[in-house]
Amino acid sequence: MDFEKELENLINRHSIENDSNTPDYILAQYISGCLAAFTTAVQQREGWYGRDPRPSFTEDHTPAPGRESKTDGSRQPK
């Protein structure tokens, strides 16, 4: 099951859609879009500061190639 479908199910399970009278799948799409927009903003911010704007971790939460720590796989400080 993908993230958006899981989010839709979570919204439904907690009846969050009732507050806005909006179908759960629309709320899940909206929240996914917000997360994507935030990722873009963070990458733009990093570029503005002169840092590498590429994500530090991949979608499966493993370090991106070339971004691994030499010791434990955690993020490298800049």
For 7-66, the pLDDT digits (tens) are 999 999 999 999 999 999 999 999 999 999 999 999 999 999 999 888 776 666 666 666
The domain of 66 spans 1-78
Q: What are phi and psi of 57, to 5 degrees?
A: -130, 150
Instruction: At 6, list the tokens.
Output: 């899981």
**How many domains are there within the chain?**
1
**pTM metric for this prediction:** 0.67
State the Cα–Cα distance between residues 47 and 59, nearest whole angstrom. 20
